[in-house]
Amino acid sequence: MFGHRTLAPCFVAIFVALVVSQANAQLFAASFRFDVFNGTARSWKELPLSGVQQLRASELGFDSLGNIYISYALVGPPNGRPFPLQVKFSPGNTSNIVSSLFNGRFALDRGNFEYNIDRYTPVGTCFDPITKIDTTDLTTGDTIGYATNVADIVFDGRSIVIVGNFLRVYSGDLAHFARTNYVARFINGDWEPIDGGLNSPPTRVVADANRNLVALIGTTLWRWNGITWTSYPLDLTAATGTPSIVDLDFGRDLLFVTGNFLTINGVSSSNVAALSWNIQGVLTVSALNGGIPNIVAASVLAERDNTLIWVGGSVNNTKAVYSLINGTWVNLGPLSPKLNSEDTTVTALLFISR
């Protein structure tokens, strides 16, 4: 089932040259602060976002107009329950911020709609609403479904997919439901299961350019190839602590994973590696120049052409972003200073190439 290889240095383009040659290309890193990378100066600049400081970013995205979306987690009274907050703004006008309380992880389609895991639980229910929001107004939207403990959401190019600890997804008016096992698709105005579903609740789900899905359950990847689900348990080793996968993102045909590991299925690539499947569904693990031994990884980002890869996290309790440049992992330099004692990790990354 498994194979391995090492990616050649020519696999990765020179990041700095790309940023310089593409005037509109921008790399962003989020933690408790929001930084943009200057490829020419090889330095970071903080973009101050009024009213949303001292919040930990959980996800970044952008719509067809180039507006940036950030989901944050904040703690509110009276019992310290974490409520998410989402903000939307243009990179050129960070003072014009639209915010919406309770909006958590999200997915943007190819049009003008955002699909959001709403963490506001209606009175008398125990469900997370799934909302469809016109991106011109984040404060209003239509509830298209309800499910318990929804963990992640993705747009696969044709439909919205959610995963989490649920066995049913109810319609927006709670009139009927679809029986699902921890994964469901919203298509043609209704929810439906994806094959027989999964055997445990996933924490993350991603989609490749061909609409194949990969869901993460612990250290096992479940892949949907358009016909059936197949499980791929990963054999991880770690220098200290429990081996884990914390984030994943697709390039064109490679799945990049990051976490706490020294090897995956015997392939040495510390804390970051590339995975792929052939037409027979055989998994191959590829080393990425040995990985990044000193990072406590929290996020990974890949461009769709597989030529740009970034890993965000913490090195020696300091925020860090690494990029694979000419086959070598390069620390892109210091980010904005700590905002508080918790501001030690880059938790989300975003690249806009147009």
pLDDT in tens, the chain (354 residues): 334 444 433 333 334 444 433 456 899 999 999 999 998 888 999 988 876 666 889 999 998 888 999 998 765 554 555 567 888 888 887 777 887 777 889 999 988 899 998 876 655 567 889 999 888 776 678 999 999 999 999 999 999 999 999 999 999 888 999 999 999 999 989 999 999 999 999 999 999 989 999 999 999 999 999 999 999 999 999 999 999 999 999 998 899 999 999 999 999 999 999 999 999 999 999 999 999 999 999 999 998 776 789 999 999 999 999 999 888 999 999 999 998 898 999 999 999 986
Phi and psi at residue 19, in whole multiples of 5°?
-65, -40
How far, in Å, CA of 91 to CA of 290, rounded? 35
Q: Which of 346, 350, 345 is nearest to 301 (CA)?
A: 350
> Residue 141: what pLDDT?
82
Strand order in the sheet with 43-46: 43-46, 34-38, 26-30, 348-352
Phi/psi of residue 21, each to 5°?
-80, -20
Which pTM was predicted?
Answer: 0.90
Distance CA 56, CA 312 (A): 14
CA 60, CA 64: separation in Å to the nearest integer?
A: 14
Contacts of 143 (CB under 8 A, 6+ apart): 118, 129, 130, 131, 132, 172
| Dist. CA 288–CA 272, nearest whole Å | 7
Radius of gyration of the chain (CA): 20
CA distances from 99 to 58, 112, 342, 347 (A): 15, 17, 23, 20
Number of independent structural domains in the chain: 1
Report which DSSP code applies to 291. B
Domain coverage including residue 200: 2-352
92: left (phi over 0), alpha (psi -120 to 50) or beta: alpha
User: At residue 292, what are phi and psi to the nearest 5 degrees?
Assistant: -125, 95
- The CATH number that applies at residue 27 is 2.130.10.10
* 175 torsion bin: left (phi>0), alpha (psi -120 to 50), beta (else): alpha
- Distance (Å, rounded) from C-alpha 190 to C-alpha 336? 44
Residue 124 is predicted with a pLDDT of: 55
Amino acid, res. 221: L
